Amino acid sequence: KAGVTQTPRYLIKTRGQQVTLSCSPISGHRSVSWYQQTPGQGLQFLFEYFSETQRNKGNFPGRFSGRQFSNSRSEMNVSTLELGDSALYLCASSLGANIQETQYFGPGTRLLVL
Amino acid sequence: AQTVTQSQPEMSVQEAETVTLSCTYDTSESDYYLFWYKQPPSRQMILVIRQEAYKQQNATENRFSVNFQKAAKSFSLKISDSQLGDAAMYFCAYRAYNNNDMRFGAGTRLTVKP
């Protein structure tokens, strides 16, 4: 089975722009979570989707949004980019939405905001 | 709010020796899961081991085992017979039943010396 894939792997944007990141979960997985990883703040939870519904959201401004499609693929969008949005964005998928489910992480998208 | 603390930013171990990584957490919940994730350099994060809070028996996975002390809110990871491939960032994480977002510690960078 193919693992979690994220596209693009690297991205350079300038302040004020918007960006869309994509995540394809493992086949059959219906839950997708997004995390932001920075040297200063570490790993922080952004949001979780299950069956096209956002189940949980972390403490991030409204500039961060996401969605999940019927095939479980997910996208996250960041509008009006700020320098502090530079980070590794990780996507993780799991079979269901139970908390004991193993989350399988993708390789991440490294975003640099100039 | 639940917080996860890893007090050791870096640890070093000789190949074939044993090392213990520390993790403490703060929660008022009684039902939750604890996880250790491994993030090798430039590679995807993978689950090492997990522990259900209601289970008194410590989880083990081959060379990896945990020392779960619920009253002390401590969840340490022991790696036996350390191998060069164990070198990575190790993250302790917490997830409660009533709040699905995963909380991560700041991580411990483990170096394995040949």
Provide the shortest C-alpha distance from residue A103 to chain B (in Å).
Answer: 8
What does the pLDDT look like over B102-111, one tens digit per residue?
Answer: 899 999 999 9
For chain B, give the secondary structure using H, E and C: CCEEECCCCEEEEECCCCEEECCEEECCCCCEEEEEEEECCCCCCEEEEEEECCCCCCCEECCEEEEEECCCCEEEEEECCCCHHHCEEEEEEEEECCEEEEEECCCEEEEEEC
Best of A98, A99, A100, A103 to disrupt the B interface by mutation (most B CBs within 10 Å)? A99
- Nearest Cβ partner for A43 among B33, B91, B100: B91
Instruction: Give ∠ CA A2-A109-A39 in degrees, rounded to 5.
Output: 125
Gap between the Cα atoms of A50 and A31, Å rounded: 4
- Per-residue confidence (pLDDT) for residue B96, from 0 to 100: 84
Contact residues on chain B for A108, CB-CB shorter than 8 A: 44
Please indicate whether, in this complex, the C-beta atoms of B96 and A99 are within 8 angstroms of each other.
Answer: yes
Residue B1's pLDDT band (boundaries 50, 70, 90)?
low
Joined tokens for residue A61: 């401004």
- Nearest Cβ partner for B104 among A43, A97, A104: A43
Q: Is the predicted pLDDT of residue A70 greater than 90, yes or no? A: yes
Contact residues on chain B for A48, CB-CB shorter than 8 A: 100-101
Q: What is the percent of chain A where pLDDT is above 90? A: 84
What does the pLDDT look like over A43-53, one tens digit per residue?
Answer: 999 999 999 99
Provide the shortest C-alpha distance from residue B29 to chain A (in Å).
Answer: 14
Rounded to the nearest integer, the mean pLDDT of chain B is 93
The one-character DSSP state at B59 is: P
- Per-residue confidence (pLDDT) for residue A98, from 0 to 100: 80
Residue B70's pLDDT band (boundaries 50, 70, 90)?
very high
* CA distance to A42, A47, B52, B75, per residue, from A39 (Å): 6, 20, 29, 23
Contact residues on chain A for B106, CB-CB shorter than 8 A: 42
What does the pLDDT look like over A8-44, one tens digit per residue?
Answer: 999 999 999 999 999 999 999 999 999 999 988 899 9
- Per-residue confidence (pLDDT) for residue A3, from 0 to 100: 92
